Chains A and B, each alone.
Chain A
């Protein structure tokens, strides 16, 4: 008897669950699809997205903190120091190696390296995956201006110093000259002041 009951139950179960399944799939058949037609419409990318890096070059101080934090050493940077200002040579990131872990972003003392929302890149050549994050090479106009300014200031300072020194020397000289009659050998140590 159980065999017959089983036989009937198998038929009933199959038909019933099939109909349940067809109801669910049929429901979705009538609904609007949830996918988007990618290149034409795109889903919003959140702010924290870990895409291709970008660098606020102005802020960067070439401290190598990010390069040291990188687990696979894919960041390399090179800059020449002119006093406080940097003359940039390169700041490269090898995207063949990069695993987008964001570990380079946190140690930055100046908060200048970030991960952007760009993610798609394809290329016929591997070398193109080594990105240079610099937006300009050498020194920026502002940095140059600042450097010139600083140099000017330095010069001015030096000049002022020199002028001051000269003035002091002149004063001393005058004093010594005034005293000259008392001490005729004072003129020889005027440069020491």
Chain B
């Protein structure tokens, strides 16, 4: 007996095949009219105010179309009206689960235009914060995914750890969700005394709890059966749709901006061999299925802890902010920096004419790009699978709509 599981086509796969070949009407031998189901904007599984118009034939989803714009707040237009530093709090608000990463992306883009050197300690603290925030964001992604699948308890366990992470941020910058902590030129404040040792304690505890999540939810047979072979994104399709982040790596494509377009200290950390880039392998089903995507996120939490540990080992005292004027005047030019947000490549494209106010701030939001794949994945799945697929894309509607 081999350990590899024989793949028997599930109902949804059969249904998809039938849909494609037009076999459906013939096989069912009954003329059923499709039902239009409005999933959202108020629905427990849409992760925010998003509306997905599902066409369904009984339990079978025959088509889906996401509708956006319920949370549009003109973030990019606001960028053209406020000063460089004043735009920082607005970046918190598009991907509110990973605000540190948003701050970082914007700051890096502006710093690229200014051409300034960031103090090493500031870079360390930035990396720690970004990685801790990645953990928090993935905890939410994994937890709410469990919620979508129907497991409520793991979600609350994950909130417990995330709560600690937020308390850490509360200590360093005073806010729990919209941090505005990483600023142009460095960070706002140095870490308070004792903060770094608490981060270390967090890392130790988290490793333990992480194993529990894997046992409780990730490896649960029902969870595996619900997610494996569902919503399969083949490699070519992932590239065609421009997916980034865990969505892309879940399909087995080895692309991580932390290594491939290094920013901050990631090239050094990578050279030190402190972290790996987890990839989907199709261990429980097909390569690129929902389980793989979630597994990549779970493994990334583990890797983030390693990065944080590396930073804690190598951090040295020093200044935390470069010498920059109070009112920023950025030299004319344009710059784009993309970073590895928990959801994928988050890029800021900023244009300056030398004034106090940006000419243009453009955000390349990973959720927005990743969302596009839904329309292609949903036909031929069951309604319950559709929920699993939406959950596995891990979108934050604040970011898709901005």
| A interface residues, Cβ below 8 angstroms from B | 1-3, 5-6, 9-10, 13-14, 16-18, 20-21, 24-25, 28, 34, 43, 45-50, 69-71, 99-103, 106-107, 115
Contacts and interface: CB of A to CB of B under 8 A. Distances in A.
A2 B1 contact: yes
Of B170, B178, B180, B221, the most chain A CB neighbours within 10 A belong to B221
Contacts of B170: 45-46, 48-49
B9 interface: no
A5 B4 CA distance: 11
B272 interface: no
B221 A14 contact: yes
B189 A103 contact: no
Contacts of A17: 219-222
Contacts of A49: 170, 174
Given A3-B8, A102-B175, 8 more contacts: A6-B6, A14-B221, A25-B216, A43-B167, A46-B174, A71-B90, A101-B178, A102-B174
Interface in B172-193: 172-175, 178, 180, 188-189, 192
Contacts of A48: 170-174, 189, 192
Which of the listed residues A14, A18, A49, A101 has the most CB atoms from chain B within 10 Å of its own CB?
Answer: A101
Given A1-B1, A10-B221, A18-B220, A103 B6 contact: no
A43 to B, nearest CB: 8
A21 B215 contact: yes
B159 to A, nearest CB: 10
A167 to B, nearest CB: 51
A48 B221 CA distance: 45
Nearest to A24: B216
25 contacts: A2-B1, A3-B6, A5-B1, A6-B5, A13-B224, A14-B221, A16-B221, A17-B222, A20-B215, A21-B216, A25-B153, A25-B216, A43-B167, A46-B171, A48-B189, A50-B173, A50-B175, A71-B82, A99-B89, A99-B178, A100-B178, A101-B92, A102-B175, A103-B89, A106-B188
A18 B224 CA distance: 12
Contacts of B217: 21
A70 B90 CA distance: 12
Contacts of A70: 86
A71 B220 contact: no
Contacts of B219: 17, 20
B145 interface: no
A133 to B, nearest CB: 18
A75 to B, nearest CB: 13
B214 to A, nearest CB: 10
A103 B86 CA distance: 8
